[in-house]
Structure 1
Amino acid sequence: MLRRLDRFLSYEMKVSEFLGTLIIIGIPYGLVGVIWSFTHTGHLRDLHGADLIISFLGSIVCWPVLIFANVTMT
């Protein structure tokens, strides 16, 4: 078991492989965040200007936490 873990952790990636992995993970994460933000806009009603933009972008990034908070708050 430790040999497999050591082999997995000692794998070296090129920068291009690392960036490709981040893109493959980041695109679905971002799409779900945009969908979540567009369907849950109740907290943005009273905001204007930069506050609105920052809160909207923050909800795109933090959608997993907001899902958990929405479930536990209702």
Structure 2
Amino acid sequence: MNESSKQSSADNSRVLASINKILDYEMTLAEWVGLAAMLSAPYLVVGVVWSTIHADDWNVLWFLRSTLTWPWLMFSGVLCLT
């Protein structure tokens, strides 16, 4: 074995050890729910702002639809800029 392959092998084992350490971390159900809430909060806030700005009529069904699908609406060319 030459020196570069020994270095590469050592780097690979360090990376695998780091990945194993991350994957071995255990979370409770409450922590998963909290993580989901923290990750979804910005999405929902932007969705409400988007729906408020781009709502033509205040029908609850359309408001909820545009709140949940704002990324698709923004990038699909469905914008109504009147």
User: TM-score by structure 1 length?
Assistant: 0.67
The alpha-carbon distance between structure 1 residues 68 and 9, as it changes in their structure 2 partners (threshold 3 A), is farther
- The alignment-based identity, stated in percent, is 35
Tell me how many residue pairs correspond in the alignment: 65
Q: 1:17 aligns with which of 15, 27, 31?
A: 31
Question: Comparing both chains, which one has the higher relative contact order based on Cα–Cα distances under 8 Å and sequence gaps of 6 or more?
Answer: 1
User: In the TM superposition, what whole-angstrom CA distance separates every residue of 1:24-71 from its partner, at most 9, and x where no partner exists?
Assistant: 1121111100000011124xx4xx8xxx21111011011111111137
Q: Which residue number in structure 1 is paired with residue 63 of structure 2? A: 56
Larger radius of gyration between Structure 1 and Structure 2: 2
RMSD across aligned positions (CA): 2.5
Give the 4+ runs in structure 1 shifted more than 2 A: 1-12
Residue type of the alignment partner of 1:37: S
Which structure features the higher share of helix residues? Answer: 1
Q: Which residue number in structure 1 is paired with residue 52 of structure 2? A: 38
Residue type of the alignment partner of 2:53: T
Residue type of the alignment partner of 1:12: E
The alpha-carbon distance between structure 1 residues 70 and 7, as it changes in their structure 2 partners (threshold 3 A), is farther
Q: 1:66 aligns with which of 57, 70, 73?
A: 73
